[in-house]
Structure 1
Amino acid sequence: MKLEIVAVGAQGAAVAAEEGADRIELCTALELGGLTPSQGLMDAAQEAADGRLEIHPLIRSRPGDFLYSGADVDTMAREIRFLLSQGAHGVVIGVLTAAGDIDVPATRKLADTALETNSEAQLTFHRAIDQTPDPAAAVEQLVELGFTRVLSSGGAATVGEGIATLERMVHRAAGRLEVMAGGGLALADIPVLQAAGLSAVHLSAKTTVSTWKNPAGAPDTAATSDPTAYMVTNRDLVRAARTASR
């Protein structure tokens, strides 16, 4: 089973590579749901991974919803060109309409930009798919658009709750694209996902690091407003996921 790890820095890329992950989704600002990594981060991640895994940057120019303006789409097209030109193996994209359907013209523009930049680029549609009315039905559109895979929790809050829909997505895809389970993924879900026919899993495997020092007598607000907190990749979680997904 393929294992994809979310990495927000060179540390995460190195850990994922050392622990045998197949791919990373490279992004920044995971606390905002993930944003496009910089060219500098892409370069650092490539050096840290040292060719041991694939690097797929998330292309998301701003936080919030997946309803993008023409300027947003143009920005993301530029990001796609730069990051693929740096050597990314593929990109992770997704655009929706106000009705919650896949925005086919905008998504096609991003997909075409990627393939024009590198004809071998892999295309992953991210968890915007889980906001569509029927993720399984949306698989057909992704196949038509030339996508390599789709990342989904089965339209549920967690993968565990969405396994039935994920199984329907696998059946609908019929081998034409890869369905990758991600979003609230628990290690215990992995054997169930394998039994359901899924061939890839995705998890953030994150740990929060903090240097918070609460002044004597001050209220303890670190849990909700720690200005020193940031996320790193947890080696033990990556190792356990690799073991579970073999």
Structure 2
Amino acid sequence: MTTAPADAPATHARPAGGPVALEIAVTAPAGALVARDAGADRVELCTGLELGGLTPSQALVETVHETGIPAHALVRCRPGGFVHDPDEVALMEREVRTVLRSGAAGVVVGALRPDRTLDEDTLRRFVDAARSVSAVAEVTLHRAVDHAVDPVAAAAALAALGFTRVLTSGGAASARAGSATIARMVEAAGPVQVMAGAGVTPGDVPVLVAAGVAAVHLSAKRSSGGGHDGVPMGTGDDGSAHFVTDAGVVAAARAALDA
């Protein structure tokens, strides 16, 4: 993979009246195609969406890259909290480099200290790993920020760490409920883009745009309609159908942004 020029990528918050991007969380190439064709600007790619998302495989990243829509790969080595031990950090550094070499346009990472402040040392390692592959790789802080003791202060620290954007619900159960905090994060983040996500529906788009976000993020998912009634395959397996990307929801979100 050809390494981009040495200058770090510029990051820009949304200018007043500027376009707001649409990002769709997907778990499969089919979902990336649906998102692309229904008007998304990019996708966040992961596996285990029902667990909050986990790192996708190299083959999955490569295949989604072939669809042509920019894909930002989540790098999260396990479900659960965001305090990581040294072995987990080293693994995720390698995953950052792997997904970018496999065609991802960016990575989505996060880490906290036990006191629920940003683990800045770990985050710098992730940013450095990304930029060692491509100087224009985009780096997003995931919703670990919503578990931080002060999401607004966390947003204010991201420019110095080299981040492109932050995905947040404003520390609330949904982005709509956290919209007032999201607006404060937009003010605090400076050049770092703030992207609203968590429980977002097309009907929430006007409220989130009014908060000043640079992007909205939603899973736009529906049940595939095909589960199983057999022996459970793990503690998280109740036989339910898996989720797929709903073209109608993506298109409705696109229309809401374009209105």
Task: Say whether the fold is shared (TM-score over 0.5).
Answer: yes
2:241 aligns with one of 212, 229, 242 = 229
Query: Residue 112 and residue 226 in structure 1: after superposition, are their counterparts in 2 closer, same or farther (change >3 A)?
Result: same
Instruction: Tell me the equivalent position of 2:119.
Output: 103
Taking only aligned residues, the RMSD between alpha carbons, in angstroms, comes to: 1.6
* In 1: Cα distance, 2:53 partner to 2:223 partner: 15
Amino acid of the structure 1 residue aligned with 2:125: K
Query: Residue 211 and residue 113 in structure 1: after superposition, are their counterparts in 2 closer, same or farther (change >3 A)?
Result: same
Query: Residue 69 and residue 225 in structure 1: after superposition, are their counterparts in 2 closer, same or farther (change >3 A)?
Result: closer
Query: Residue 178 and residue 212 in structure 1: after superposition, are their counterparts in 2 closer, same or farther (change >3 A)?
Result: closer
Is the aligned partner of 1:168 residue 2:184? yes
How far the C-alpha of 1:167 sits from its partner, in A, is: 0.3
Query: Residue 39 and residue 167 in structure 1: after superposition, are their counterparts in 2 closer, same or farther (change >3 A)?
Result: same
* In 2: Cα distance, 1:87 partner to 1:207 partner: 27
Instruction: Tell me the equivalent position of 2:64.
Output: 45
Instruction: Tell me the equivalent position of 1:206.
Output: 221
Instruction: Tell me the equivalent position of 2:212.
Output: 197
Identity over the aligned pairs, expressed in percent? 47
How far the C-alpha of 1:92 sits from its partner, in A, is: 0.1
1:177 aligns with one of 185, 192, 195 = 192
* In 2: Cα distance, 1:20 partner to 1:95 partner: 31
* In 2: Cα distance, 1:163 partner to 1:10 partner: 31
How far the C-alpha of 1:172 sits from its partner, in A, is: 1.1
Instruction: Tell me the equivalent position of 2:98.
Output: 82
Report the secondary structure of 1:147's partner residue: coil
Amino acid of the structure 2 residue aligned with 1:126: H
Query: Residue 225 and residue 54 in structure 1: after superposition, are their counterparts in 2 closer, same or farther (change >3 A)?
Result: closer
* In 1: Cα distance, 2:227 partner to 2:30 partner: 21
Matched residues, number: 234
Report the secondary structure of 1:106's partner residue: helix
* In 2: Cα distance, 1:118 partner to 1:203 partner: 27
* In 1: Cα distance, 2:151 partner to 2:237 partner: 35
Bigger Cα displacement from structure 2, 193-202 vs 68-77: 193-202
Report the secondary structure of 1:188's partner residue: helix
Conserved 8 A contact 1:160-1:186 = no
When you count helix as a share of all residues, which structure comes out higher? 1
Instruction: Tell me the equivalent position of 1:14.
Output: 33
How far the C-alpha of 1:186 sits from its partner, in A, is: 2.5
* In 2: Cα distance, 1:179 partner to 1:238 partner: 20
* In 1: Cα distance, 2:108 partner to 2:48 partner: 15
Conserved 8 A contact 2:228-2:240 = no
Amino acid of the structure 2 residue aligned with 1:85: R
Unaligned runs of 5+ in 2: 1-19, 231-235
How far the C-alpha of 1:185 sits from its partner, in A, is: 1.2
* In 1: Cα distance, 2:180 partner to 2:227 partner: 42
1:175-226 residue CA offsets vs partner (Å, 9 max, x unmatched): x1100000111222211121221121000111122334769xxxxxxxx964
Instruction: Tell me the equivalent position of 1:112.
Output: 128
Instruction: Tell me the equivalent position of 1:151.
Output: 167
Question: What is the TM-score of this pair, normalised by structure 2?
Answer: 0.87
* In 1: Cα distance, 2:243 partner to 2:92 partner: 24
Question: What is the TM-score of this pair, normalised by structure 1?
Answer: 0.91
Conserved 8 A contact 2:156-2:188 = yes
1:71-105 residue CA offsets vs partner (Å, 9 max, x unmatched): 10111111111111122111000001111111011
